[in-house]
Chain A
């Protein structure tokens, strides 16, 4: 019959030890922000040419997974980063708003390309002149289409914003679509 070995542990000394070697204390909000920043789940709202370039961002060469954002979700309820890639027409605008409203907080919007940001070179009768007319935007990425590097840069910028808990007045004071 074996006996359970009895060990006397100096818990106090151990915890002191842990504090210097393994444990890390932080503020709770900082921890959450760190987690959020590294696990963005994008909803790729690709409507046009920028959507094609967004595929490259997801694809093997540029690989958004390196930034913790590879879990693409097409359901607004499962995603927290809306990437609007492409022209949004007047016909599409109500759909975009609908999708945005279905997303849960915290949520972020990245506007990819000239069209999504401002209507681009379509100063035209059926094109929404920028998605910020209907939803609040956190990051604008210029280009027609932006290079994949630029999109990665935009995502990194957003990560910085999240990490530092930067206030987002454009979102907090959002009054709804201006149209």
Chain B
């Protein structure tokens, strides 16, 4: 019996026969009635069939009688299998919230409510999450115009989830404290609200959405290759990884494999990005704790990587270097040698930081034993990436589900034990070293050949053909008019980004624009745990914990 059939018989026995299981683009898809969603989820959790809930989202099928699809993405780290569970929901119907089973579902469900107005019954706090509190309507519904702005007259007052009637009064009880969104330690766009008992956080709440720039709506109104620049701006500290994640998803849907040379360039870009992402994370974290020196050291290193990117494509930060089907162009001559040279300098730099911080007494005292989380809790929240590995779970998609030949490369995945800020730091330091090792291996033997596939329905012809012969001109013209058209269907694909699993859920209706594109941003799931991590701790630890989670507003709020 194949794995799908096994799953089918298992679920039919448990849930009755009115379920459908099929395989779509290699993923298991379960279609189920909305009343059975809770039961099925409970089954997955209690049997450990799937240990991660990666994402909950919804799709608006405007023309259908039951208008919405609510989609759940599960992942099993034991056998590296994914399941997509879909339930249909009518306009005024409700669906049972799965937050009692998986607390990580909390924000994902709130987001689905905010974006599409899905009502989750039994959700502890079903309020808007990303749009502002005066916003009316649900912007990701197909009948909401992407360019209809609604103005916000004033920022929301201090509020807590468990206390709707709260009015701050410093004379009466605990001291109310608002941090952010414009505060140096909140990196620009996060807002933390707390009540203090002396120096201790009594309770807290966070507000997000201050950088909600409608990525998903923009994706629905642009063509596939036009979306690539938008993906840059998700996690802008490591932009190329988002490009790669998105293109890989579309490529998988199209069923094409990119040439070895493109794979090699993508790996180099990704791993260098991982290094600079960690640099920004550690550098900012240290600055927030008062160690300004490391900022200057680390940012000098980052500049080197930016110079490499600049040589490659002209941009420093927002590179948009990938195209569906490969890369935008060949690297300039000698670029790979530059890469190797940079790797050597970066290696020295990382060692310097290592020496500067790892045994630094102040650093240790501010980070050790601070903001720890157990691996079970972390999994329940949907942690992935360095923050999950710091708790001792050895999960890295580059090993678990290797792509682009990561399985051929020699590197280790570091993991910690206690999951505290110090462990996260150690994991990141080691990951930088491993990434440099990967870059070195790849840059030393770059395969020859083309940097892109040459399918005229997917990739624009090279400029010399467009201007040089009639066929090239025709192909260019046709592709621009017609656009790149993936088959009808939906797909979820994930890569290991700097912060963890970066997933793209793409729904295609066969046209040149995505019907729906949902991003599963790694730090969104991680940041959910924040209030739990800081409650009961010291105010000063808030800063150190926040820095260690590496919350990037661009991907958090999208």
Contacts and interface: CB of A to CB of B under 8 A. Distances in A.
B189 A47 contact: yes
Contacts of B214: 122, 124-127
B399 interface: no
Most buried by B among A51, A95, A124, A129: A124
B299 A89 contact: no
Contacts of B299: 55-56, 59-61
Given A61-B300, A123-B147, A52 B210 contact: no
Contacts of A123: 146-147
Interface stretch (B69-77, B180-188, B326-334, B415-423): B180-188
A165 to B, nearest CB: 30
A145 B151 contact: no
B242 to A, nearest CB: 11
Nearest to B189: A47
Given A91-B131, A125-B217, A144-B318, A47 B211 contact: yes
Contact of B317 (A87, A98, A145): A145
A31 interface: no
Interface stretch (B152-160, B349-357, B483-491): B152-160
Contacts of B318: 49, 144-145
Could you say which interface size class chain B belongs to? Answer: 35 or more
B237 A90 contact: no
B518 interface: no
B530 to A, nearest CB: 19
Interface in A96-142: 96, 98-99, 115, 121-129
**Chain B interface mostly:** loop
Contact of A94 (B131, B144, B152, B300): B152
Most buried by B among A52, A61, A123, A179: A52
A119 B212 CA distance: 13
B209 A89 contact: yes
Contacts of A61: 299-300, 303
A126 B213 contact: yes
Contact of A56 (B145, B182, B189, B303): B303
B182 A99 contact: yes
Given A45-B182, A129-B149, A124 B188 contact: no
A92 to B, nearest CB: 5
B147 A125 contact: yes
Given A90-B132, A93-B152, A145-B317, A122 B303 contact: no
Nearest to A92: B210
A86 interface: yes
Contacts of B153: 94
A59 B316 CA distance: 15
A147 interface: yes
B213 A124 contact: yes
Interface in B298-336: 299-300, 302-303, 306, 316-318
B296 A59 contact: yes
B316 A53 contact: yes
A144 B181 CA distance: 23
A86 B149 contact: no
Contacts of A55: 280, 299
A74 interface: yes
Contacts of A125: 139, 144-150, 214, 217
A47 B188 contact: yes
A161 interface: no
Nearest to A115: B213
A69 interface: no
Given A49-B318, A147-B316, A89 B182 contact: no
Nearest to B153: A94
B296 A94 contact: no
Given A52-B236, A59-B296, A60-B299, A89 B151 contact: no
A49 B132 contact: no
B295 interface: yes
B83 interface: no
A91 B181 CA distance: 10
A59 B213 contact: no
A87 B210 CA distance: 9
B553 A47 contact: yes
A179 B317 contact: no
Contacts of B259: none
8 contacts: A89-B212, A96-B182, A99-B182, A115-B213, A121-B230, A122-B214, A124-B147, A125-B139
10 closest Cβ pairs, A-B complex = A124-B214, A49-B236, A91-B132, A59-B299, A74-B184, A47-B188, A179-B151, A122-B213, A92-B210, A46-B188
